[in-house]
Amino acid sequence: MLRIITQQADVRAELLRICDRTHDEQVLHKEATVREVLQAVKRQGDKAVLHYTSEFDNQTLKPEELRVTGSELDAAYQQVSKELLQAIQLAVRQIEAFHRQRVPKSWVHFGDDDVVLGKRYTPVDRAGLYVPGGRAAYPSTVLMNAIPAKVAGVPHIVMVTPPGAGKAINPAVLVAAQEAGVQEIYRVGGAQAIAALAYGTETIPQVNVITGPGNIYVTLAKKLVYGIVGIDSLAGPSEVLIIADETANPVHVATDLLAQAEHDPMAAAILLTTDTALAKNVQVAVERQLVDHPRRIDTEKAIAHYGLIVVVESLEAAAEFSNEFAPEHLELEVKDPWAVLPNIRHAGAIFLGYSTPEAVGDYLAGPNHTLPTSGAARYASALGVETFLKHSSIIQYSQTALQKVAGAIDALATAEGLPSHADSVRRRIQQEE
Amino acid sequence: MLRIITQQADVRAELLRICDRTHDEQVLHKEATVREVLQAVKRQGDKAVLHYTSEFDNQTLKPEELRVTGSELDAAYQQVSKELLQAIQLAVRQIEAFHRQRVPKSWVHFGDDDVVLGKRYTPVDRAGLYVPGGRAAYPSTVLMNAIPAKVAGVPHIVMVTPPGAGKAINPAVLVAAQEAGVQEIYRVGGAQAIAALAYGTETIPQVNVITGPGNIYVTLAKKLVYGIVGIDSLAGPSEVLIIADETANPVHVATDLLAQAEHDPMAAAILLTTDTALAKNVQVAVERQLVDHPRRIDTEKAIAHYGLIVVVESLEAAAEFSNEFAPEHLELEVKDPWAVLPNIRHAGAIFLGYSTPEAVGDYLAGPNHTLPTSGAARYASALGVETFLKHSSIIQYSQTALQKVAGAIDALATAEGLPSHADSVRRRIQQEE
């Protein structure tokens, strides 16, 4: 049963408990395993990759089987329906169109005395995309990771995903990869895949940035290799927070809460509403929709542990609770969502109005569905083209310009006790040299 | 003696050795200490902070002494020279002017069928700036961290820096903080400072982003709390790579190499030159300038271990070696630096021409001096306003727009086995609801 809270005093503690649901101390034990995998792959390359694939994924591969072949890629198209292919193609077009907007461009600014300052943007050389396997092998994950890398102009994009039974990869994932422009795919998952991308092996190329969601082992591995490579974020279980007033449709709100809960027993689904009647009706609708839900057991777990309805006093109070939670997904199912928006400070993605269920953004509206979780929206943003770009600062001074700032640099360098810093300017402005 | 290599076969291995100089395995031991500090501060707050300040910094403070007082802030102005104050003020103006350029702005795009998509940028609520103590207590560090936070519009900026003898903080640091707009400063350093900022204590507020350089304990602590808060980067020892041709001034090049080496015995200083005579002359000039260098011992260590001159066959070859190293700072001391620039793919900051020593960028040209080290320029960029900003995706669909994509979402949700995702759209487009 989806709980309803009306006591404002309890709200903060409950939201904090849900937000912090993954910050447990038990990860230290798993971290030791992950460290071992990382070290083994770093030292033994393919051999270790194959060993752990056999151990963790129960698939015994030869090195030459790691890479998905051209004929498998071709064959995948025969295994997906025409409707699914067209849906993937529509999603590719819309995601690409959105990501092509406002891509940072290199610039220089010409100042006084021939000073030139600027930023020069370049893509990373190689990007590695992690796509989970099994039940969470989603074609949408492929698109949301590959398209920003492609738009950024990354010349070498590789994908890794764990092999399923019979060494197979989900055909929808293979089709999505090709539609997004990824041809180089390796069947390897878990911490061993992250290690292979971070260090490189005989078969799998070393990359500069690793993106994509995964289980706790993948996430720990990404955290450990961060600094050797860049990463997108440390993804936790998914979450939605819905702010609704009396005008919202309780059946729709309930479905949206379940659409989050069905992802994972750790998923969080929260409703903040100003309307007691809506709270009750959503509670009933959730129960009703759970009865014959194909993923009932896991979905019920999520609803029971990390589901919550809060009756709040005002939309302003709702916005403030939402800011404290900093949800990955925020739906504003209220009469005037644009009036609530200015009060929202932290949220990964904001879905406005009655006709914008989160699923629209999950699949094909265009914005990225890889979003900060577990309160990370307080400081982080969606995966994007920027994840695969970096810039170099550009600085050119003239002799005249250098002369004018020489005294100031001397004062600063002297204060900092760095004599050669001061000398590097002083020697350049001396006439006799 | 600064070594000269002419055998191209050795270059790659040498550059790799220097680039990887900090990726040692010995950090695991230090990590255990850092974990203990983090846990203690998380559980005991100020008490633990004061305990470790006494243990590591030899300063016994009371809780009410943690925060630097208004009268100390005022008094700092009496302890810096007029020249230094003016230099700091010039730097503030120029750094702020650069950081105000091209700040990301919120936008929405109105598409067909009343679809609205966009990005809404907001600053983090609270930022924490770490400033090292002792010999590395640099006013320039304060400016380079505080000004981007201020330009981003962060409403609450706090600074931490370890207390020196007599609990004192370097007055130039206190003046720089005030000139950059930071008034809230706590005398705490090391891992305990990072813990305090990540978890909050009775006295020190919890923040959302922690930036700034530090020693290995600070860096490890930042890596461990990453995910609870955002961080700027994992800073390693500083490095410069200079590409010079026969037109470069060997004395200037030598000074620039020493300006890097004087930072730290782990600093790296590399020259790639097409000219054998220049290589020899720089080698001699470095020896000569080292003789009475005030930081001779440490600077010589850096030059001996992580200094290198490579004679290369062409400027193209130099650019390619530089890309492999991905230096924090790159100087192009060549006749036509703008002709070399297109070949540069990875560098934190690029200094063009004879009159642009790195010191100009270190202090006051405007671009940030907090740059990716140890090869991180392959995927990362300078600290900037973006470090303190994040965005929310904005999505609004109309009933008509939803209707048009309903089939595609249904196909994708069904392929992914997420029935409530499909339902959330299906139920909304059914007329009868």
pLDDT confidence bin for A110, thresholds 50/70/90: very high
Give per-residue pLDDT as tens, B135-191: 778 999 999 999 999 999 999 999 999 999 999 999 999 999 999 999 999 999 999
Q: Is A133 on the interface with B (CB under 8 A)?
A: no
Q: Is A329 on the interface with B (CB under 8 A)?
A: no
| Among the listed residues B85, B84, B89, B97, the one whose alpha carbon sits nearest the alpha carbon of residue B366 | B97
> Does the annotation place A421 within a ligand binding site?
yes
Ranking A12-16, B143-147, B205-209, B245-249 by mean pLDDT, the lowest is A12-16
Point out the residue among B84, B344, B423 whose CB comes nearest to the CB of A415.
Answer: B84
> Does the annotation place A263 within a ligand binding site?
yes
Contacts A349 to B, Cβ<8 Å: 392-395
Q: Is A326 on the interface with B (CB under 8 A)?
A: no
Q: Do A402 and B346 touch (CB under 8 A)?
A: no
Which residues 43-82 of chain B have a CB within 8 Å of chain A?
80-81
Point out the residue among A330, A371, A427 whose CB comes nearest to the CB of B255.
Answer: A427
Could you give the CA distance from residue A157 to residue A148 in angstroms, rounded to a whole number? 11
Q: Is B21 on the interface with A (CB under 8 A)?
A: no
The distance of B172 to chain A (nearest Cα, Å) reads 8
Q: Is A128 on the interface with B (CB under 8 A)?
A: no
Kindly tell me if the per-residue pLDDT of A433 is higher than 50: no
pLDDT of B429: 94
Kindly tell me if the per-residue pLDDT of A167 is higher than 80: yes
Kindly tell me if the per-residue pLDDT of A432 is higher than 50: no
Could you give the CA distance from residue B91 to residue A412 in angstroms, rounded to a whole number? 10
Could you give the CA distance from residue A99 to residue A102 in angstroms, rounded to a whole number? 8
Contacts A172 to B, Cβ<8 Å: 415
- What DSSP state is assigned to residue A80? S
ipTM of predicted assembly, 2 dp: 0.96
Point out the residue among A341, A408, A418 whose CB comes nearest to the CB of B90.
Answer: A408
pLDDT of B24: 62
pLDDT of A24: 62
Question: Hey, of A143, A296, A360, which one would you mutate to test binding to chain B, going by the most B CBs within 10 A of its CB?
Answer: A360
Q: How far is CA B158 from CA B168, B172, B211, B387, in A?
A: 18, 17, 11, 15
Q: Indicate the domain borders of chain A.
A: 4-22+236-365, 27-102+123-231, 397-429
The rounded percent of chain A whose pLDDT value lies above 70 is: 98
Torsion of CA A313, A319, A325, A331, to 10 degrees: 110
**Higher model confidence: residue A154 or residue B20?**
A154
Farthest-apart Cα atoms in chain A, separation: 89
Q: Do B356 and A425 touch (CB under 8 A)?
A: no
Point out the residue among B360, B396, B420 whose CB comes nearest to the CB of A259.
Answer: B420
Give per-residue pLDDT as tens, A18-29: 998 886 656 778
- Which among B99, B252, B329, B369 is annotated as catalytic? B329
Question: Hey, of A379, A397, A431, which one would you mutate to test binding to chain B, going by the most B CBs within 10 A of its CB?
Answer: A379
Token digits of residue A300: 């019920």
Q: Is A328 on the interface with B (CB under 8 A)?
A: no
Torsion of CA B304, B305, B311, B313, to 10 degrees: 180
Identity (one letter) of the amino acid at B149?
A
Could you give the CA distance from residue B38 to residue A28 in angstroms, rounded to a whole number? 14
The distance of A55 to chain B (nearest Cα, Å) reads 26
> Does the annotation place A215 within a ligand binding site?
yes
A420 in Cβ contact with B259 (< 8 Å): yes
Which residues 142-201 of chain B have a CB within 8 Å of chain A?
172
* Average pLDDT value for residue range A97-105: 97
Could you give the CA distance from residue A430 to residue B96 in angstroms, rounded to a whole number? 29
Point out the residue among A90, A120, A415 whose CB comes nearest to the CB of B408.
Answer: A90
B303 in Cβ contact with B286 (< 8 Å): yes
Query: According to the CATH classification, is domain B27-103+122-231 in 1.10.10.10?
Result: no
* Average pLDDT value for residue range B323-336: 98
Give per-residue pLDDT as tens, B53-97: 999 999 999 999 999 999 999 999 999 999 999 999 999 999 999
Common-topology check for domains A4-22+236-365 and A27-102+123-231? yes
The distance of B399 to chain A (nearest Cα, Å) reads 5
Kindly tell me if the per-residue pLDDT of B433 is higher than 50: no
Q: Is B390 on the interface with A (CB under 8 A)?
A: yes
Q: What is the overall mean pLDDT for chain B? A: 96
Give per-residue pLDDT as tens, B101-110: 999 999 999 9
A232 in Cβ contact with A348 (< 8 Å): no
Choose which CATH entry (1.10.3720.10, 3.40.190.10, 3.40.50.1980, 1.10.150.300) describes domain A27-102+123-231. Answer: 3.40.50.1980
Q: Do B411 and A84 touch (CB under 8 A)?
A: yes
| Among the listed residues B146, B237, B190, the one whose alpha carbon sits nearest the alpha carbon of residue B56 | B190
> Does the annotation place A249 within a ligand binding site?
no
> Does the annotation place A362 within a ligand binding site?
yes
* Average pLDDT value for residue range B105-131: 98
Q: Do B364 and A408 touch (CB under 8 A)?
A: yes
Kindly tell me if the per-residue pLDDT of A154 is higher than 60: yes
**Residues B34, B380, B178: CA angle, nearest 5 degrees:** 70
> What count of CB pairs under 8 Å joins A to B?
365
CATH number of the B4-22+236-365 domain: 3.40.50.1980
Q: What is the 3-state secondary structure (H, E, C) of chain B?
A: CCCEECCHHHHHHHHHHHHCCCCCCCHHHHHHHHHHHHHHHHHHCHHHHHHHHHHHHCCCCCHHHCECCHHHHHHHHHHCCHHHHHHHHHHHHHHHHHHCCCCCCCEEEECHHHCEEEEEEEECCEEEEECCCHHHCCHHHHHHHHHHHHHHCCCEEEEEECCCHHHCCCHHHHHHHHHCCCCEEEECCHHHHHHHHHHCCCCCCCCCEEECCCCHHHHHHHHHHECCEEECCCCCCCEEEEEECCCCCHHHHHHHHHHHHCCCCCCEEEEEECCHHHHHHHHHHHHHHHHCCCCHHHHHHHHHHHEEEEECCCHHHHHHHHHHHCCCEEEEECCCHHHHHHHCCCCCEEEECCCCCHHHHHHCCCCCCCCCCCCHHHCCCCCCHHHHEEEEEEEECCHHHHHHHHHHHHHHHHHCCCHHHHHHHHHHHCCCC
Q: Is A378 on the interface with B (CB under 8 A)?
A: yes
> Which residues are CB-contacts of A31 (< 8 A; sequence separation ≥ 6)?
A220, A224
Point out the residue among A109, A208, A330 whose CB comes nearest to the CB of B101.
Answer: A109
Q: Do B415 and A346 touch (CB under 8 A)?
A: no
Question: Hey, of B219, B257, B390, which one would you mutate to test binding to chain A, going by the most A CBs within 10 A of its CB?
Answer: B390
Q: Is A134 on the interface with B (CB under 8 A)?
A: no
Could you give the CA distance from residue A406 to residue A425 in angstroms, rounded to a whole number? 6
Indicate which residues of A carry an active-site annotation: 328-329
Kindly tell me if the per-residue pLDDT of A113 is higher than 90: yes
pLDDT of A25: 59
B366 in Cβ contact with B97 (< 8 Å): yes
Which residue of B lies nearest to A393 if distances are taken between CA atoms?
A: B349
Give per-residue pLDDT as tens, B357-412: 999 999 999 999 999 999 999 999 999 999 999 999 999 999 999 999 999 999 99
Q: Is B27 on the interface with A (CB under 8 A)?
A: no
Contacts A135 to B, Cβ<8 Å: 417
User: How many C-beta atoms surround the C-beta of residue B105 within 10 A?
Assistant: 9
pLDDT of B7: 85
Which residues 293-312 of chain A have a CB within 8 Å of chain B?
293-295, 299
- What DSSP state is assigned to residue A226? B
Kindly tell me if the per-residue pLDDT of A77 is higher than 70: yes
